[in-house]
């Protein structure tokens, strides 16, 4: 496993290019978000999605994977049309530590190795994954990093994460200690948005 150290507020472009080059070669990486460190690969990397599912101990059709997009326009490329009120809700909270569950369009099931009709979407308030998505010109698939022996335990120390997963991923981005609370989750597939998990910050 290669380790790339980046400053969260001012990531080095050359180092970011190294990460993007690896992702384009179907690598899976560990990268920080504005909440937890996460396993990531590019959306079109079917083998990478399978590898991430194995790491979190879930079958692809059962895994609660999310997509990281660059902005709201990017989100609409992968979802069915949503209401103005949902748009306003997302616009108030993104970028930020909130995952929105939306109805997926027909691009997503083929890529996610399942027949799912919905997808969790994130636009994290962290420059590193956003810069990666921008350079990659493709969303990232992500799943939070937890202790391999106890998935209820969050790992936030990059050194400890590396000890557990150095033989399981291709590259890790070290931006210092990560968070310890996951994102809020808001289900926007019904008539009214429903907060189904409180996160590190309240949904506005």
- Does residue 109 have a pLDDT over 70? no
The values of phi and psi at residue 4, to 5°, are -115, 120
Q: What is the mean pLDDT of residues 11-15?
A: 95
Question: What is the topology classification, in CATH, of domain 2-197?
Answer: DHBP synthase (3.90.870)
**pLDDT range class, residue 15, cuts 50, 70, 90:** very high
| 58: β partners | none
Are 68 and 127 in contact by the 8 Å Cβ rule? The answer is: no
- Does residue 173 have a pLDDT over 70? yes
Strands (E), 64-145: 66-68, 98-103, 118-122, 140-144
Q: How far apart are alpha carbons 183 and 118 in whole angstroms?
A: 17
| CA neighbours closer than 13 Å in the CB half-sphere of residue 49 | 24
**pLDDT range class, residue 202, cuts 50, 70, 90:** confident
**pLDDT range class, residue 113, cuts 50, 70, 90:** low
The predicted model scores a pTM of 0.94
- Does residue 99 have a pLDDT over 80? yes
pLDDT at 10: 92
């Amino acid at each position: 496993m290669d380790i790339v150290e980046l400053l969260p507020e001012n990531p080095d472009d050359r180092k970011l290019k190294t990460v993007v080059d690896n992702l384009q070669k179907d690598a899976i990486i560990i990268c920080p978000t504005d909440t937890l460190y996460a396993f990531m690969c590019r959306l079109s990397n079917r083998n990478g999605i399978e590898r991430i599912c194995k790491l979190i101990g879930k079958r692809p059709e059962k895994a609660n994977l999310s997509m990281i997009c660059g902005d709201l326009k990017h989100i609409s490329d992968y979802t069915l049309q949503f209401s103005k009120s949902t748009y306003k809700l997302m616009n108030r909270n993104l970028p930020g530590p909130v995952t929105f569950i939306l109805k997926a369009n027909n691009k997503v099931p083929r890529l996610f190795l399942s027949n799912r009709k919905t997808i969790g979407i994130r636009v994290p308030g962290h420059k590193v994954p956003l810069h990666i998505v921008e350079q990659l010109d493709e969303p990232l698939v992500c799943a939070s990093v937890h202790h391999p022996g106890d998935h209820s335990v969050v790992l936030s120390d990059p050194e400890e994460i590396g000890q557990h997963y150095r033989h399981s991923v291709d590259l890790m981005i070290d931006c210092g200690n990560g968070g310890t609370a996951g994102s809020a989750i808001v289900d926007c597939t019904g008539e009214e948005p429903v907060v189904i998990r409180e996160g590190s910050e309240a949904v506005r």
